[in-house]
Amino acid sequence: MRAVDAIMECLKAEGVEHVFGIPGGANLPTYDALYDAGLRHIQCRHEQGAGHAAEGYAKASGRVGVALATSGPGATNLVTAIADAVMDSVPTVFITGQVRTDLLGTDGFQEADVTGITLPIVKHSLMIRSAEEIPTAIHEAFHIARTGRPGPVLVDVPQDLSREDIAYEPVDSVELPGYQPTTEGNTKQIRLAAKALANARRPVIYAGGGVVNADASKELVELCLSDKLPVTCTLMGLGAFPAPHDQWLGMLGMHGTRAANYAMDEADLIVGIGVRFDDRVTGKLSEFAPRAKFVHIDVDPAEISKNVPAHIPIVGDAKRILPKLTAEYRALAPDTARLDGWWKRIDGWRDKHPLRYDDSETAEIKPQRMIEALYEVTGGDAIVASDVGQHQMWTAQYFHFDGPRKWINSGGLGTMGFGLPAAMGAKVARPDDNVICVSGDGSVVMNAQELATCVTENIPIKVFVMNNGYLGMVRQWQELFWDRRYSSVDMGKSPDLVKLADAYGATGLRVQDKGELEDVVKAAMDADGPVLCDVRVTPEENCYPMIPAGQAARDMVG
C-alpha cells in the first residue's frame, strides 16, 4: 500500500479518532489517504489553531493530540503550538509534509527545515529518509509523545516518499535503546520521604501539571487526606486536588493566594509532585522557601535539582509513587496534632487574606465577577480553556476546579491565542461536556479564525471574552512598574465581537450590565452552536494579589 495509507493504519492502531490540520502541496498524499480512512479530520483555518486544538484535545482527554500541516509555512505555523506543548508536557504528534527528496536543501517551493527549526522545542523529531521507515516512525512518535514526561514529537515526511508503495505490516512494538523512562520510584527514597513527612511540623504538598498528566489526582488526594496535609497546586495543576476544600490553600505563585505563598515561605518540608519550580512559582530563587527541605517527585530526572536542589529526589511516575508514599506514611502513624499549630497559622492567613475584590457600585462588571458568574451558572460543571493574561489568572483564582482535565491553559509558554482553538480541541475530545473558553480582547483575535472551524465542523464551544479594551496584564505592569506609561496596550474598539461572531456564523452576545450577566451567560450556555460573548468589564482592574517579578513570597502586594 502507499506509505500514506500505512500512516492511516498506524494512526488507527494508535487509537487515533480525530486529527486537526490543513492540507497543502507537500501533504496532498496524506490528505488523499485521509479522505476515506475513517478518521474524523477537523479542517482548521490556521495551522497554529490546529496545533493548539491538538493540545486542547490531549489535555482534556489524556490521549495523544494529532495535527497535520504541509511543508514550509504550514509547518512553521505549527511552531508556537509545538513550543507550547513542550513547555506544558502535552502529548502531541505533529505530522508535516516536506518537499520531495530531490528538492531537499535546494530552497524549493515551500521548503523549510522544520526539523531544524523545531529542534530545541520538541521532545523528539523524526525526519523520514525512506518510505519503509514511515510506519515505525509513526509508532515511535506516539510512544515517545505519551510515555515518560509527555511532549510533542514531529514527523517530517517528504512528499515523494509518502506516495511510495511499501510492504506494510503492523508494528507491534518499538525499540528505542536511548529511551527508557523510569516509572517506579526508588523504594528507599519513598520510605525516606514518608519519614520526612511524618516528622515535618510545617509541611506543604506542592502539586503540579505532572499529577494531571500522570492521571494521579486520586492518588494525590489519598495522600493529602491520609492526614491533614496542606496542599497547593500550580497553575498547571489546578483540579489535581479538588477545590474548594479545607486542606486546599489555593494556587501558589505570582498570582496565588497569600495562604499558599506564605505557607511555602514558612514550610519546613515541601513535597513537590510533578512540578518544576518555575520562576512564576518561586519568585526570587534565593529567597524561595528558605526554611524548607525538599522532596521532589518527577518523571523527568532533569527537573530534579534544576532550579531548587532536592533533598529527597524520587524519579518516576506519580501514579505509581504516590500510593507507596501514602502507605509508608500511614504505616508511621504520624500524630496529626503536630500540625495543629501549622494549621492555626495557615487559617490565620486565610482569614486575613482571602481572595477578594471590591465589587462595583454601578452596573459595571468587575472581571472577577464575570468568572464567578461563569462558575455559578455552570455549577463548575465545565471544561474551561483560557487564553493568557489577566483573565487567565482571574479564572485560576475564582473558578474552583474540582477535578483534573477541566482546566486547559498555556502555562509555561504563556501563548496568547491558545484558548479558543484549545477549547475547540477539548470539545472534540469530550463532546458531552460543557466547554468554555475564557479569553481576553487581546488574546481572542490571535486565533479568532478558528470560530469558522467551530461553525463548519459543528463544535459548540462557548467563548467568553473579558473585554477591558486593553492588553490588560501588560497594562497592569505598565501601571505598577513603568509609571503608567501605557505603551501600545490600548486595543481601541475593534473588532465588534458580536459582528465578528455573526460574520463567522456563530452566535454573538454582549453584556455590560452586571444585573444581566448571569442571564447572558445562561443564554450563551443554552444556545445551539458556538457562541462568542463580549463581556465588557472594568477597563483598569488589576489582578491581585501579586508577587512582583523577581521578588519573594513575603513581598506580595494587593
Partner 1 sequence: MTDATDILNLDDLEVSGGGRTGRRHILSLLVENKPGVLARIAGLFARRGFNIDSLAVGPTDDTTISRLTLTVDGATHPIDQVTKQLHKLVNVIKIRDLEPEDAVARELALFKISADGDSRAQVMQFAEIFRGKIVDVHKRSLTIEVTGTDDKIEAFEEMVRPFGLIEMVRTGEIAVARGKSAT
Rounded Cα distance between 370 and 511, Å, is: 10
Residue 536 DSSP SS3: strand
- 312/511 with CB nearer partner 1: 312
Looking at 164-172, 194-202, 319-327, 550-558, which segment touches partner 1 (CB under 8 A)?
Answer: 194-202
Chosen residue from 13, 332, 498, 527 binding partner 1 by CB under 8 A: 332
Binding of partner 1 by 37 (CB under 8 A): no
Looking at 214-222, 297-305, 512-520, 538-546, which segment touches partner 1 (CB under 8 A)?
Answer: 297-305
Binding of partner 1 by 515 (CB under 8 A): no
Footprint (CB under 8 A) of partner 1, residues 359-378: none
- 144/251 with CB nearer partner 1: 144
What would the 3-class secondary structure string for 319-388 be? HHHHHHHHHHHHHCCCCHHHHHHHHHHHHHHHHHCCCCCCCCCCCCECHHHHHHHHHHHHCCCCEEEECC
Binding of partner 1 by 285 (CB under 8 A): no
**Rounded to the nearest whole angstrom, what is the least distance from the CB of residue 158 to partner 1 in the complex?**
13
Binding of partner 1 by 535 (CB under 8 A): no
DSSP 8-state symbol, 447: S
Binding of partner 1 by 204 (CB under 8 A): no
Between strands 507-511 and 312-315, the pairing is unpaired
Binding of partner 1 by 83 (CB under 8 A): no
Per-residue x/- mask for partner 1, residues 140 to 179, rule CB under 8 A? ----x-------------------------------xxxx
Q: Do the Cβ atoms of 279 and 273 come closer than 8 Å?
A: no
Cell of 64: 495523544
Q: Do the Cβ atoms of 112 and 72 come closer than 8 Å?
A: yes
Looking at 254-262, 328-336, 367-375, 535-543, which segment touches partner 1 (CB under 8 A)?
Answer: 328-336
CA quadruple 234, 240, 243, 249: dihedral, nearest 10: -40
Chosen residue from 106, 187, 199, 456 binding partner 1 by CB under 8 A: 199
Q: Where are the beta strands (DSSP E) in 221-305?
A: 231-233, 248-251, 269-273, 293-298
**Rounded to the nearest whole angstrom, what is the least distance from the CB of residue 239 to partner 1 in the complex?**
27
Handedness of CA 106, 109, 112, 113 (dihedral sign): negative
Binding of partner 1 by 335 (CB under 8 A): yes
Task: From 214, 209, 204, select the one nearest 247 (Cα to Cα).
Answer: 204
- 273/535 with CB nearer partner 1: 273
Binding of partner 1 by 301 (CB under 8 A): yes
Footprint (CB under 8 A) of partner 1, residues 104-123: 115-116, 119-120, 123
Rounded Cα distance between 275 and 499, Å, is: 42
Task: Kindly give, in sequence order, each residue whose CB lies less than 8 Å from that of residue 313, ignoring residues fewer than 6 positions away.
Answer: 189, 296, 301, 304, 305
**Rounded to the nearest whole angstrom, what is the least distance from the CB of residue 86 to partner 1 in the complex?**
11
Cell of 499: 459582528
Looking at 275-283, 331-339, 382-390, 433-441, which segment touches partner 1 (CB under 8 A)?
Answer: 331-339
If binding means CB under 8 A, how many residues of this protein chain bind partner 1? 36
Give the angle subtended at the CA of 355 by the CAs of 353 and 356, to the nearest 5°.
Answer: 100
Binding of partner 1 by 184 (CB under 8 A): no
Chosen residue from 124, 320, 366, 554 binding partner 1 by CB under 8 A: 124
Binding of partner 1 by 337 (CB under 8 A): no
Binding of partner 1 by 15 (CB under 8 A): no
Rounded Cα distance between 50 and 450, Å, is: 9
Largest CA distance in the chain: 73
**Rounded to the nearest whole angstrom, what is the least distance from the CB of residue 293 to partner 1 in the complex?**
5
Binding of partner 1 by 330 (CB under 8 A): no
Q: What are the C-alpha distances in Å from 528 to residues 25, 194, 461, 525, 531?
A: 36, 51, 10, 8, 8
The residues that touch partner 1, with contacts defined as CB under 8 A, are: 115-116, 119-120, 123-124, 127, 129, 144, 176-179, 192, 195-196, 198-200, 268-269, 293, 300-302, 304-306, 309-313, 332-333, 335
